[in-house]
Structure 1
């Protein structure tokens, strides 16, 4: 593909008009040569400097094409992983955020902008890291450069892979993801699990053949791509949490169950799951999300934008009509930082948009500030103060 053709498809991508074939073509072109990567980002910069108030949600291109991809049973991993990597990087470079207010009629003007105070900034984006607790209580710390090799599992410090062994005694491992971390684990039945920051998963090292496969999401958020029951003599898969049970036959879904949140969210991507609480049950369809209120133990179900719920797994935070307080709760887990609101009213301000998870925290705060959502901010060690 020539540079001119790449520019044409890029413009179509930015205006939500590119086809699936064109997006895949663009992804391949970007990967062919580092200079193409640079050129693509330059196109994005040019596009968004034409008008700083130009608003573009990179996820719209995904939503428009996802239905076509699913209909053709051709969920292109290259498209999903590549295009969004660059879309996420462009989010902050091109200021792809829409500022808005929930309880105010106007936002701070640019005349109010002042220089932020940054003292000993120790806030860094998260990384692949975890703590593995074995059946005997021994702990193994995983991070880049670490390794593990046992009869059941191998790890390069950034993920852990289990292998099935028949006739082995039932034993459990617990994987804890700290603030500022994420991790991937492939269970012995082939089920793949992506764990978000501040999460904990307990699971058997080896599942008992023919019996229901049970794991416990003790707290936090996890995306499950479950090995189908047809490959395990009909054995179903269950995800247990203090507040609910997810019964699975073979599917992809996301469970968000943080201790400091009042609701447990289960989002179905593919397949079929049954959600059970102590009071009621619901069967989810793809594209639906259940919300379990932990205080009154009630379940509700609604259709959602699935990608916004699972984009964290692809390296993107995607927000839609979220308060600044809720957004900062999510960011604080990933960046392992504390957030202080100097003015309580700021908590109800917010924006729509998407943020790349590899972005420095200063860049994120500058873009929030540029839309007048906040007047200014301070960074002191691992604390952010919003003003």
Structure 2
């Protein structure tokens, strides 16, 4: 079995789609990992492994007991096999050393507030699937999948009317999906907000983003779609892209997966092609653009943190927003990470993955992450 196959198997274990045979195969690798005391194991001879699987495979009712071990171990092994979690320090501690008792902080959930033009603020956590509210000829519903949908029935009376602005906001530890009246799909990450008109009656479809959002824009050549944030303006016709524009982050990043976009900050503009990312520094007021792993930038909407040579401080900022905790950044060493963490695991498991890879350990005290 090749390393990339093991990565895919770890992902299936994590999301619960693995078969009984795959679970047994995974456990064999995990047993090898434990036997090495935390070093990345070799990839056992395939035929020998299959013989072991055939000898251990039992009816589903019994085999499912091994899924418990597999699911608990998947997060750890998943992080190890995805590029061996490259860091600048080489003296990695063993698994036994990293199994420190950590407060169990649960991962974030689908959680958001919807603020209507008339000031009504609706907690979408408490709303059952079905009708949420109505504004004039706008119907707002919540689907079984937890998505808020705006359905508009434009009329001649809409012409010349001022837009009625709504806002969808997520707390720390929350995320949510939104379908705008033009058919554009939006995913909002934790601690983010999107202001948008209930109907797009102007010459451009303008929305205002704070935080991070992934957009799949419905094509309308007559009305460009514009995402305005605190430091930049992104203009498109129809495309898929991710914008990270948190005020506490040093850079505003726009990552393009499909189509094309124009990013403008002040008097400076740049156009992106698929596979490129722009990075705007508000201190230097400069935009840099170039090739990037843009799929990693948008991985959060699919349930993963993906890091590519990312500084620990950036990693911890992302974790702190999703798990709704604080962090003592003064204690973090200047090391970098490459790897993947499922967003479904508790904070203690996420931190253990980081501990395995470098000479750093974490503790959570009074809802704050400390490195030691």
Q: Paired residue for 1:367, among 331, 353, 356? A: 353
Instruction: Tell me the residue number matched to 1:377.
Output: 362
1:177-218 CA-partner distances (Å, limit 9, x unpaired): 11000000000000000010111110011111x72111111x
2:171 maps to which residue?
178
Gaps of 5+ in 1: 1-10, 57-85
CA distance, structure 1, for counterparts of residue 240 and residue 17 of structure 2: 36
Report SS of the residue matched to 1:113.
Answer: helix
Task: Report the RMSD for the aligned CA atoms in angstroms.
Answer: 3.3
Task: Judge conservation of contact 2:251–2:282 (CA < 8 Å) in 1.
Answer: yes
Within the candidate set 89, 105, 113, 2:97 is matched to 113
SS in 2 for 1:333: helix
Structure 1 counterpart of 2:305, from 317, 333, 344: 317
Aligned to 2:186: 193
Instruction: Mark the CA change 1:211 to 1:55 in structure 2 (over 3 Å): closer, same or farther.
Output: farther
Give 1:236 shift: 1.1
Partner of 1:14: 4
Equivalent residue number for residue 356 of structure 1: 342
Q: Which residue of 1 aligns with 2:200?
A: 207
Whether contact under 8 Å (2:169, 2:193) holds in the other structure is yes
Do the aligned partners of residues 149 and 261 (structure 1) sit closer, same or farther apart at CA in structure 2, a change above 3 Å counting? same
User: Deviation of residue 259 (structure 1)?
Assistant: 0.7
Per-residue CA distance 1:260-294 (angstroms, 9 max, x = gap): 01211001100011111112111110000011111
3-state SS, counterpart of residue 315 of structure 2: helix
- Alpha-carbon distance in structure 2 between the residues aligned to 1:339 and 1:365: 12
Q: CA 1:88/1:312 → structure 2, altered by over 3 Å: closer, same or farther?
A: farther
* Equivalence map 1:1-387=2 (5 Å): 11=1, 14-15=4-5, 37-51=19-33, 52-54=38-40, 90-94=74-78, 95-96=80-81, 98-102=84-88, 104=89, 106-107=90-91, 109-110=93-94, 113=97, 116-118=100-102, 121=103, 123-143=105-125, 146=128, 148-150=132-134, 151-156=138-143, 158-167=146-155, 168=158, 169=161, 170-208=163-201, 211-217=203-209, 219-230=210-221, 234-340=222-328, 344=331, 346-374=332-360, 376-387=361-372
Deviations 1:51-94 (A, max 9, x none): 554389xxxxxxxxxxxxxxxxxxxxxxxxxxxxx999944244
C-alpha distance in structure 1 between counterparts of 2:352 and 2:96, whole Å: 14
Consecutive unaligned residues in structure 2, runs of 5 or more: 43-69
Cα deviation code 1:119-157 (max 9, x no counterpart)? xx3621000011111112221111165451434211259
Q: Name the residue aligned to 1:61.
A: none
In structure 2, relative to structure 1, the CA distance for the partners of 1:125 and 1:262 (3 Å cut) is same
Could you tell me whether the CA contact under 8 Å between 2:87 and 2:358 is conserved in 1? no
Separation in 1, partners of 2:190, 2:71: 22
Residue 15 (structure 1) shift:
4.4
For 2:235 and 2:297, the matched residues in 1 are separated by 20
CA distance in 2, matches of 1:190, 1:280: 30
TM-score by length of 1: 0.75
TM-score (structure 2 length as normaliser):
0.78
d(CA) in 2 for partners of 1:123, 1:319:
21
